[in-house]
Structure 1
Amino acid sequence: MWFFGQGPVVPVLRFSGPIGMSTPLRPGLSLGHAASAIEKAFEASKTPAVAIVINSPGGSAVQSSLIFHRVRQLAEENKKKVYVFCEDVAASGGYYLAVAGDEIYADASSIVGSIGVIFSGFGFDKAIEKLGIERRVYTAGTAKDSLDPFRPERPEDVERIKAVQRDVHDVFIGVVKERRAGRLAAADNELFTGAFWSAPKALEYGLIDGISDVRTKMRELFGEKVRLKVVPLEKGGLLSRLRRSPSAAGYEELTRPRLAFAEDLISAVEARALWSRFGL
């Protein structure tokens, strides 16, 4: 397992940032960006453990699920135990990722939970009416313009999105109940409202297994000589695009820099809004 007096090696994955949302300086956390690193982490050492450090306010339910399942598949195939450590926040999709761990730990000041589903937007129909702007939309399919922000809200659209949210929420709840079976210590109407808590309350509710950090816990388990090896995720975002040579870039990427910048800006605002829910 180790040689010449060196300690065992525990691979460490860092899942940081909004899930599925790209920002100007980094790609959104997704299976596409994380898959290679996840596989390397489970192959990097003979030590029967992989550590995952999470600092995420959530985001895409689909990408959360995909990453969760890849971690669990590789853990079972390689017969390794997964230890998760929450930093500032592991909420919503961030907590979805956390339950991929066999054991979950957090700092005493970490924010944990938010087991719910949210959809938000704006309504501009009254604003464009005051400005004398006429909205023209042509669809094939009566529900194709559902939740159009430039049209008045329709009850049937609201019920449709709520039905989708209920389905997604039910999947999330099922995953938490399965992974934390026998450890949850609060009623469903307390745990699954979308509320979030500090780590001590999350521990009381059975959402985590203890208060600790990755280095302290790994030393407890594998001795003082344990070495933590961070396995970096694939790089991306604006900086990588700027570094990319013109010969390596596709025609479309070279001809739409202004649109790409606008998309990055919108994603950055959305990501900032996610963090701000937790005072970060």
Structure 2
Amino acid sequence: MAGSAGMGRQSVSMAAVAPLLKKAFERSKAPVVAIEVNSPGGSPVQSRLIYRRIRELAAKHDKKVLVFCEDVAASGGYMIACAGDEIIADPSSIVGSIGVVSGGFGFVDLIRRIGVERRVYTAGQNKATLDPFQPEKPEDVAHLKSLQLDIHAIFIDLVRKSRGDKLANDPELFSGLFWSGGKGLELGLVDRLGDLHGVLTERFGEDVELEVIQAKKGFFSGLVGFGAEARSAALVRNLADVAEEKSLWGRYGL
């Protein structure tokens, strides 16, 4: 029997996937744990925490991990995929995007035009760094770039340690570019092409039993028992999360 912990089409977090991973790895009869990754990324911290948790559980339960890349395993999604002993991707999957991105908007001219005065009071001269309602400062951008380079170096180190000499010597590998699963195979980002059912059937026979372990989905799942104001606030947060998630997927044309 093969256990499966899915990470579906949404930004993932350690809190959301930790119980699923625990349940999958504790299936004593399962010869492997197969993890489907379908994520365009998100928080580098959450992705790295999930990566480490998968490796910890694999060592504790002495199980091999097969990671299957679906539509997208990019950026933080690819970081999680690196936790697999093998990474398998569909030829049309999108993999890679080993880089760090930050984005935002500047509203300085807008608030001036509509007659709004921005007032900010801080204790600490850099507390309002990158405030979108104030003019952008070169020193703030330089600080952000330094932070991005630090995180990028951690990401690169994780990929190098995970993939080792499988990686191609390509100058674009850590540039933030992303590729199809087929090209990812050439670059050493994945180990083979295929899909979950086909690979597991090939390895364990036609009678292989797959127990699917996945989170319950529901847009209003966290709102039970709250009043109208709490529901409205939660709805706004959910809509903001949906917009941010949509922009992440939009980078890959999905």
* C-alpha distance in 2 between matches for 1:49 and 1:260: 38
Question: 1:272 is matched with which residue: 213, 222, 246?
Answer: 246
* C-alpha distance in 2 between matches for 1:238 and 1:218: 32
Q: What is aligned with 1:123?
A: 106
2:191 paired with 1:217: no
1:85-234 alignment runs, 5 A limit: 85-187=68-170, 189-233=171-215
2:41 paired with 1:58: yes
Between 1:216-225 and 1:91-100, the stretch displaced more is 216-225
* C-alpha distance in 1 between matches for 2:23 and 2:206: 24
- Does the 8 A contact of 1:115 with 1:194 survive in 2? yes
* C-alpha distance in 1 between matches for 2:14 and 2:180: 28
Question: C-alpha displacement at 1:239, in angstroms?
Answer: 2.6
Between 1:165-174 and 1:215-224, the stretch displaced more is 215-224
- Which whole-Å deviations, capped at 9, do the CAs of 1:16-70 have from their partners, x for residues lacking one? 1343xxxxxxxxx211111111011011142331000111111011110111111
Regions of 4+ moved over 4 Å: none
What letter is aligned with 2:232? R
Q: What is aligned with 1:24?
A: none
Q: What is aligned with 2:2?
A: 10
- Does the 8 A contact of 1:49 with 1:80 survive in 2? yes
- Which whole-Å deviations, capped at 9, do the CAs of 1:80-127 have from their partners, x for residues lacking one? 110011111100011011000010011111011100000000000011
- Which whole-Å deviations, capped at 9, do the CAs of 1:119-154 have from their partners, x for residues lacking one? 000000011112222100000011110110000000
Gaps of 5+ in 2: none
Residue 241 of structure 1 aligns to a residue whose secondary structure is coil
What letter is aligned with 1:264? N
Residue 180 of structure 1 aligns to a residue whose secondary structure is helix
Pick 1 or 2: higher relative contact order, CA cutoff 8 A, min separation 6.
1
TM-score, scaled to structure 1 = 0.87
Q: Percent identity?
A: 50
TM-score, scaled to structure 2 = 0.96
Residue 164 of structure 2 aligns to a residue whose secondary structure is coil
Question: C-alpha displacement at 1:256, in angstroms?
Answer: 2.3
Gaps of 5+ in 1: 1-8, 20-28
* C-alpha distance in 2 between matches for 1:241 and 1:270: 19
How many residues of Structure 1 are paired with residues of Structure 2 in the alignment? 254
What letter is aligned with 2:201? R
- Does the 8 A contact of 1:10 with 1:45 survive in 2? no
* C-alpha distance in 2 between matches for 1:169 and 1:237: 34
* C-alpha distance in 1 between matches for 2:203 and 2:130: 51
* C-alpha distance in 1 between matches for 2:10 and 2:139: 30
* C-alpha distance in 1 between matches for 2:130 and 2:234: 25
